[in-house]
A and B are shown apart, each in its own frame.
Chain A
Amino acid sequence: MKKEIGIFILLVILCAITGFENPRFFSPINLGNTANLIGLFGIFSIGAGVVIITSGIDLSVGSMIALNGMLSVIALTQWHLAWPLAVLFALAVPMALGLAHGVLITRFKMQPFIVTLCGLLIYRGIARFSSNDMTKGFGDANGFQTLQRWATGTLWGLPTPFIYLIIISIIMWLVLHRSVYGRYLLAVGRNEEAARFSGVNTKLVIGSAYVLAGLLTGISGILFAFYTNDVSPSTQGNFYELYGIAAAVLGGCSLRGGEGSIVGILIGTTLLLVLQNLVNLLNIPSSLNFAVMGGVVLIGVLADELIQNARRKK
Chain B
Amino acid sequence: MRGITKRFSGVTALDNVSLTLGRGEVVALCGENGAGKSTLMKILGGVHQPDAGEIVLDGRKTQIPGVADAIKLGIAFIHQELNVLGNLDVAGNVFLGREPRNALGLINSKKIHADAEPFVRRLGLDISTRTRLDRLSIAQQQMVEIAKALSLNARLIIMDEPTSSLTVAETTRLIDLVCDLSKQGVSVIYISHRLGEIEQCADRAVVLRDGKNAGELGSDEATHDKVVSLMVGREIKNYYVHSDAPKTPGFFKVRDAFSSLYSRKTVSFDAARGEILGFAGLVGAGRSEMARAIAGMDHCPSKKITLDGKTIPIASPRDAIQHGIFLVPEDRRVEGLIVEMSVRENVSLPSLRDFSRFGLISRKRESDAARRQVDSLRIKTPTVEARVRNLSGGNQQKVVLGKWLTMNPRVMIFDEPTRGIDVGAKAEIYRLIRDLASQGAVILVISSDMEEVLNVSDRIAVMHEGEITGALDRADCNEENVMQLAVGKKVPAAKPAFKE
- Contacts of A199 on B, CB cut-off 8 Å? 317-318, 320-322, 350
Mask, A175-204, CB within 8 Å of B = 1, is 000111101101100110111111111000
Give me 10 A-to-B residue pairs in the complex whose CB atoms sit less than 8 angstroms apart, sorted by A's number: A174-B360, A180-B360, A181-B359, A183-B345, A187-B345, A191-B337, A196-B317, A199-B318, A199-B350, A201-B316
Tell me if A258 counts as interface (CB < 8 A to partner B): yes
Q: Are B327 and A179 in contact (CB under 8 A)?
A: no
- Contacts of A258 on B, CB cut-off 8 Å? 338, 340
* Interface segment out of the listed B101-109, B149-157, B249-257, B328-336: B328-336
Q: Which of A181, A195, A201, A314 contacts B349 (CB 8 A)?
A: A195
Q: Are B340 and A180 in contact (CB under 8 A)?
A: no
Tell me if B9 counts as interface (CB < 8 A to partner A): yes
Given A179-B360, A197-B297, A190 and B338 contact (CB-CB distance below 8 Å): yes
Q: Are B361 and A180 in contact (CB under 8 A)?
A: yes
Q: Are A194 and B334 in contact (CB under 8 A)?
A: yes
Instruction: List CB contacts (< 8 Å) of B1-33 with chain A.
Output: 9
- Contacts of A184 on B, CB cut-off 8 Å? 352
Tell me if B356 counts as interface (CB < 8 A to partner A): yes
Q: Are A190 and B318 in contact (CB under 8 A)?
A: no
A195 to B335, CA, bound (A): 8
Minimal beta-carbon separation of A89 from chain B (angstroms): 28
Q: Are A194 and B360 in contact (CB under 8 A)?
A: no
Q: Which residue of A lies closest to B321 (CB)?
A: A199
A201 to B363, CA, bound (A): 22
Mask, A84-116, CB within 8 Å of B = 1, is 000000000000000000000000000000000
Instruction: List CB contacts (< 8 Å) of A256-314 with chain B.
Output: 258, 314
- How many of A's residues come within 8 Å of B, CB to CB? 22
Q: Are A180 and B329 in contact (CB under 8 A)?
A: no
Minimal beta-carbon separation of A242 from chain B (angstroms): 27
A201 to B322, CA, bound (A): 13
List 8 tightest A-B contacts by C-beta distance, closest first: A199-B321, A198-B350, A198-B349, A191-B338, A199-B318, A190-B338, A199-B350, A179-B359
Instruction: List CB contacts (< 8 Å) of B338-368 with chain A.
Output: 338-341, 345, 349-350, 352-353, 356, 359-361, 363
Mask, A134-165, CB within 8 Å of B = 1, is 00000000000000000000000000000000
Q: Are A191 and B359 in contact (CB under 8 A)?
A: no
Known: A179-B359, A180-B352, A186-B341. 4 other contacts (CB 8 A): A179-B360, A183-B361, A191-B340, A197-B317
Tell me if B403 counts as interface (CB < 8 A to partner A): yes
A197 to B338, CA, bound (A): 11
Minimal beta-carbon separation of A1 from chain B (angstroms): 13
Given A187-B338, A195-B338, A258-B340, A201 and B318 contact (CB-CB distance below 8 Å): yes
Binding site for B on A (CB under 8 A): 174, 178-181, 183-184, 186-187, 190-191, 193-201, 258, 314
Minimal beta-carbon separation of B370 from chain A (angstroms): 13
Q: Are A183 and B349 in contact (CB under 8 A)?
A: yes
- Of A180, A186, A193, A201, the most chain B CB neighbours within 10 A belong to A180
A184 to B320, CA, bound (A): 18
Q: Which residue of A lies closest to B353 (CB)?
A: A180
- Contacts of A314 on B, CB cut-off 8 Å? 9
A178 to B360, CA, bound (A): 6
Q: Which of B335, B356, B403 contacts A193 (CB 8 A)?
A: B335
A304 to B99, CA, bound (A): 36
- Contacts of A174 on B, CB cut-off 8 Å? 360
A197 to B341, CA, bound (A): 15
A200 to B322, CA, bound (A): 12
Minimal beta-carbon separation of A59 from chain B (angstroms): 26
Mask, B211-228, CB within 8 Å of A = 1, is 000000000000000000
Q: Which residue of A lies closest to B316 (CB)?
A: A201
Q: Which residue of A lies closest to B355 (CB)?
A: A180
Instruction: List CB contacts (< 8 Å) of B285-336 with chain A.
Output: 295, 297, 316-318, 320-322, 327, 329, 334-336
Minimal beta-carbon separation of A193 from chain B (angstroms): 5
Instruction: List CB contacts (< 8 Å) of B396-415 with chain A.
Output: 403
Given A180-B361, A181-B359, A197 and B9 contact (CB-CB distance below 8 Å): no
Q: Are A179 and B356 in contact (CB under 8 A)?
A: yes
Minimal beta-carbon separation of B398 from chain A (angstroms): 16
Q: Are B335 and A194 in contact (CB under 8 A)?
A: yes
Q: Are A183 and B336 in contact (CB under 8 A)?
A: no
- Contacts of A183 on B, CB cut-off 8 Å? 345, 349, 352, 361
A180 to B352, CA, bound (A): 7
Q: Are B350 and A193 in contact (CB under 8 A)?
A: no
- Contacts of A178 on B, CB cut-off 8 Å? 360-361, 363
A299 to B341, CA, bound (A): 27
Given A180-B356, A183-B345, A199-B321, A194 and B337 contact (CB-CB distance below 8 Å): yes
Q: Which residue of A lies closest to B339 (CB)?
A: A191
A181 to B9, CA, bound (A): 36
A207 to B445, CA, bound (A): 35
Q: Are B360 and A197 in contact (CB under 8 A)?
A: no
Q: Which residue of A lies closest to B340 (CB)?
A: A190
- Contacts of A197 on B, CB cut-off 8 Å? 295, 297, 317, 327, 329, 335-336
Mask, B358-392, CB within 8 Å of A = 1, is 01110100000000000000000000000000000
A314 to B338, CA, bound (A): 24
Q: Are B360 and A200 in contact (CB under 8 A)?
A: no
A186 to B342, CA, bound (A): 12
Q: Which residue of B lies closest to A256 (CB)?
A: B340
Instruction: List CB contacts (< 8 Å) of B53-91 with chain A.
Output: none
A178 to B363, CA, bound (A): 8
Minimal beta-carbon separation of A184 from chain B (angstroms): 8
Q: Are B359 and A193 in contact (CB under 8 A)?
A: no
- Of A180, A187, A191, A199, the most chain B CB neighbours within 10 A belong to A199
A232 to B318, CA, bound (A): 48
